[in-house]
Amino acid sequence: MRDLRISVTDRCNFRCVYCMPKDVFGKGYAFLPKTSLLSFEEMARIARLAVTHGVEKIRLTGGEPLLRKNIEKLVEMLSALKTPDGRELDLTLTTNGALLAKKAQALKDAGLKRVTVSLDSLDDGTFRRMNDVGFSVAEVLEGIAVAHRVGIGPIKINMVVKKGSNDQDIVPMARHFKGSPFILRFIEYMDVGATNGWKMGEVIPSAEVVRRIRAEMALEEIAPNYTGETSARWRYQDGSGEIGVISSVTQAFCHSCTRARLSTEGKLYTCLFATGGHDLRALIRRGCSDDEISATIAHIWRARGDRYSELRTAMTGGALPAVAKVEMSYIGG
């Protein structure tokens, strides 16, 4: 266990068509009540115990993490944690950028090192269609610029590529961020959850993404930063930066996965495609000791056998595993 992703809210101010489609997550949707959510103290406690089991990297996510009130307080609590040998944690956050300009300074002051911003297109019409709430590209770019200005970095930009929606923007996105301080990463559209109507035919394989960019700009593959890195790295041969491709559909990386996920209401999941989690909130609220919770975490982790993406690959062309997967907005992206 090296990475812990904490979903701090199941709510979002976007309704991205591939993640929280409006017809499901509309006005009548029952989001979690406040009493169900882990408090910052409960999250920090689980994080502290996870660090004793090897976690070195924590990512705050959701839903949209910047919607959680006083999120910088949680950042401050987590940034005080140290690995058993005294090193600082790699503390980061994934955001849609809508509130980043407003929040960047407070996050930086609280100890946030870096941030990943989701941006699916530079074309305003396409972007508004994909986030489905009419949010503009310019406002996300402003959030990125402010985060950079206050010294949060390196900043990564995530683009989910969905065939027929934004694949025409692969090369323009690459061109735009080439030579900038920002690292652009292309994510294969995944069959997370059960509401996005995923079809294999809407996935653009990473190999195709690289092929399209290479046709215009010379690229060479470079070594991962560390074992288990989700993204394969490619560098522009003229020295103007790098891109990443995350191939969770066409090249599953379950075998090297070191990620645990803590849901908004305190369930520990050992896979993004899991059907169930382990209720740590119940242990906390029942008054269990650190040792008891720690032993439970160890037990869950040792027993894990998840390899959904590898099974999906093995079955491509046939039926997909028929499972009721949790939604990404609940478990955290």
Q: Which residues bind ligand SAM (CB under 6 A)?
A: 12, 18-19, 61-62, 64, 94-96, 118, 158, 160, 187, 189-190, 192, 196, 328-329, 333
In angstroms, the first-to-last Cα distance of the chain is 17
Q: Between 19 and 184, name the residue whose CB sits nearer to ligand SAM.
A: 19
- Least distance in angstroms from the C-beta of 18 to ligand SAM: 4
Relative orientation angle of helices 124-131 and 137-149, to the nearest 10 degrees: 90
- Specify whether the CB–CB gap between 172 and 131 falls below 8 A: no
Nearer to ligand SAM, 94 or 165 (CB): 94
| CB-count burial class (<10 Å; 0-12, 13-18, 19+) for 255 | exposed
Closest separation between CB of residue 280 and ligand SAM, Å? Answer: 21
- Of 169, 114, 188, 179, which Cα lies nearest the Cα of 144? 114
Rounded CA gap, 103 and 70, in Å? 10
Q: How far is the CB of 61 from ligand SAM (least distance, A)?
A: 5
Q: Which is nearer to ligand SAM, 1 or 19 (CB)?
A: 19
Q: What are phi and psi of 160, to 5 degrees?
A: -80, 125
174/297 with CB nearer ligand SAM = 174
Q: How far is the CB of 95 from ligand SAM (least distance, A)?
A: 5
Nearer to ligand SAM, 196 or 231 (CB): 196
State the CB neighbour count (10 A cutoff) for residue 254.
17
Q: How far is the CB of 112 from ligand SAM (least distance, A)?
A: 14
Distance CA 79, CA 46 (A): 14
Q: Which residue lies nearer to ligand SAM by CB, 196 or 247?
A: 196
Q: By the 8 A CB rule, do 148 and 155 touch? A: yes
- The pair phi, psi for residue 6, each rounded to 5°, is -115, 120
Closest chain position to ligand SAM (CB): 333
Question: Whose Cβ is closer to ligand SAM: residue 20's or residue 50's?
Answer: 20
- Of 107 and 328, the one with the shorter C-beta distance to ligand SAM is 328
CB of 2 to ligand SAM, least distance (A): 19
Find the shortest distance in angstroms from Cβ 159 to ligand SAM: 8
**Within its chain, how far is the Cα of 227 from the centroid?**
18
Tell me how long the chain is: 333
Output the smallest distance, CB 160 to ligand SAM, in A: 4
Query: What are the DSSP calls for 176-224, one per residue?
Result: HHTTSSPEEEEEE----SSSS---GGGB--HHHHHHHHHTTS-EEEE--
CB of 9 to ligand SAM, least distance (A): 9
Contacts of 187 (CB under 8 A, 6+ apart): 158, 159, 160, 161, 246, 248
Residue placing its CB nearer to ligand SAM in the complex, 145 or 298: 145
Q: Which two tokens stand for residue 47?
A: 């994080």
